[in-house]
Amino acid sequence: MIRAEILGTGGYVPARVVPNAHFDYLVDDADQWIHSRTGIRERRFAAAEEATSDLATNAALLALENGDVDPLELDCIIVATSTPDMILPATACMVQKNIGAAKAFAFDMNAVCSSFIYGVEVADNLIRSGKYRKVLLIGADTYSKILDYDDKGTAPLFGDGAGALILGAGLSGKGIQHTVMQSDGNGWELIQVPSSGSRKPISAESIAAKENTFKMAGKSVFSFATDVIPRIISDLAERGGVKPEEIDHIIPHQANVRIIDFISKKTGIPKEKFLLNLDRYGNTAAGSVGLALDENRRNGVIKSGDLVLMMGFGGGLSWGGVLLRA
């Protein structure tokens, strides 16, 4: 059976470090307030001239180097993002130009913070079809560009970053084993940028009302996440014929350490199995899972043969998970 195996990974964050103290204007002792509620200590913000395609390009180049893959070998490039450089054309086409992948077709996909996991599903199926052999997937977001910096409930949560993954056709039995994907459009209003498209085009009035910035119903999203994540874990373990405790590592979407604490207690899976970089990068949206995957492959935490579960959840509402053999 053809499986999509990991050929290389890459991760990139902007140079600018933004500590919690940056938000002292919003709340007294912002560092303690933010860290106690989220687990975040700092995050990275893109420079004024940096866009999502720049972060994605850097992560892609590192993945190509890591996997010793020639850009001309790529059949497809997927950029998973909800903060594209512009509404059109696809950010993936800009990345294609930047890395010299002239033979690939390129497109964007948006499932908000689930985008990278959804992208793995698409890339896996492209490869399993037998028609394509090498797919570059990049999860990248620059939420610093769309935040309302007067909203203490959202502004301190996010950072910018990109994680890249190259999948290739293989017969070793490693790679993507099983996936689960789901959406519930009944919850679409919980996470949104109200004035950003054809429903309510950006205008002077919408900008004045800050409707062109990110909005989230935090308590409802917390309840949603703590409901679906245990189901992702149990569903994938069952499909893989393993017990949850037999999974070596879990890479969750890096949203809030309280969510991870809750899931660890609910499932009985030790918190040490959850690979986190939330304290250093905040919530990097579609970048978070790919960043953590790359970091832990490079530092040797994830070893060849390890069973790894990756999962995401976000706007849409959307959620999904991937079980892979490293």
Nearest by Cα to 167 from 310, 54, 278: 310
Residue with tokens 């002239």: 102
What H or E segment, with its residue span, contains residue 45? strand 42-45
C-alpha span between 108 and 89 (Å, rounded): 9
- pLDDT for 77 equals 99
* pTM score, whole prediction: 0.97
| Known active-site residue 76 | no
- pLDDT for 65 equals 98
Which one from 20, 212, 283, 296 is the annotated catalytic residue? 283
Which one from 113, 212, 256, 296 is the annotated catalytic residue? 113
- pLDDT for 260 equals 95
Partners of 134 in beta bridges: 168
Partners of 321 in beta bridges: 180, 311
- pLDDT for 40 equals 98
| Known active-site residue 113 | yes
The encoded tokens of residue 149 equal: 């910096």
The encoded tokens of residue 46 equal: 């893109």
Residues of the chain with pLDDT under 50: none
Which one from 110, 253, 256, 277 is the annotated catalytic residue? 253
C-alpha span between 142 and 272 (Å, rounded): 28
Cβ-based neighbour number of residue 22 at 10 Å: 18
What H or E segment, with its residue span, contains residue 162? strand 160-170
Q: Check if the beta carbon of residue 233 is closer than 8 Å to that of residue 267.
A: yes
Helix (H, G, I), strand (E, B) or coil at 138: strand
Q: What is the CA radius of gyration of the chain?
A: 19
C-alpha span between 224 and 189 (Å, rounded): 13
Q: Check if the beta carbon of residue 119 is closer than 8 Å to that of residue 80.
A: yes
- pLDDT for 111 equals 98
Q: Check if the beta carbon of residue 1 is closer than 8 Å to that of residue 177.
A: no
**Exposed (0-12), middle (13-18) or buried (19+): which is 139, by Cβ within 10 Å?**
buried
Residue 67's contacts (CB-CB under 8 Å, 6 or more residues apart) are 7, 8, 9, 166, 168
